[in-house]
């Protein structure tokens, strides 16, 4: 069984690193020639790791689309670079910050629910 607590902690760690990256981008919004950066999506981080879900019964997972046919998020259109060569867009960074904040709330709520479930099972 995959350790869901470790997976949740890993997700929250990734979100904290993304938040720091966004803060660095915003802090350098007036630095000439600065190029903003972002982390690889968390899904790619998981794909590179040895964490895999095991299908132990055909009833556990539905026959959904495979990764090659699943819809992918549209790529964000490029933002303009200023005359100084700085490519930071405060609007784009605020959108990333809001997305990161929402994802952290979801991950925290999921971990809390799993903890309550684990405690209920342990109590019997």
Mean pLDDT of all residues belonging to the chain: 80
Residue 64 lies in a domain: no
Domain span including residue 101: 1-29+86-124
- Residue 101 has a pLDDT of 96
If one counts the domains in the chain, the total is 1
pLDDT at 69 over 50: no
Residue with the bigger pLDDT between 83 and 86: it is: 86
Q: What percent of the chain has pLDDT over 90?
A: 47
On whether residue 63 sits in a domain, the answer given is no
pLDDT digits (tens, 9 = 90+) for 24-61: 999 999 999 999 999 999 888 777 765 555 667 776 65
Residue 75 predicted with pLDDT over 50: no
In a domain, 79, yes or no: no
- For residue 102, pLDDT over 90 is answered with yes
Overall average pLDDT of the 80-102 stretch? 89
Domain membership of residue 104 (yes or no) is yes
114 lies in some domain: yes
Residue 5 placed within a domain: yes
The predicted pLDDT at position 103 comes to 96
Q: What's the Rg (C-alpha) of the chain?
A: 19
> Does 122 fall in a domain?
yes
The Cα-based distances of 49 to 15, 46, 53, 101, 113 in angstroms read 17, 5, 12, 24, 25
In a domain, 1, yes or no: yes
């Amino acid at each position: 069984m995959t350790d869901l607590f470790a997976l949740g902690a890993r997700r929250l760690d990734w979100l904290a690193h993304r938040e720091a990256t966004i803060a660095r981008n915003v802090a350098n919004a007036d630095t000439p020639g600065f190029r903003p950066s972002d982390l690889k999506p968390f899904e790619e981080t998981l794909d590179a790791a040895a964490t895999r879900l095991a299908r132990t019964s055909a009833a556990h997972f539905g026959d959904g689309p495979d990764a090659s046919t699943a819809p992918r998020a549209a790529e964000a259109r490029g933002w303009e670079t200023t005359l100084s060569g700085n490519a930071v867009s405060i609007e784009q960074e605020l959108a990333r910050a809001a997305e990161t904040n929402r994802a952290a709330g979801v991950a925290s709520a999921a971990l809390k629910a799993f903890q309550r479930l684990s405690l209920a099972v342990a109590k019997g």
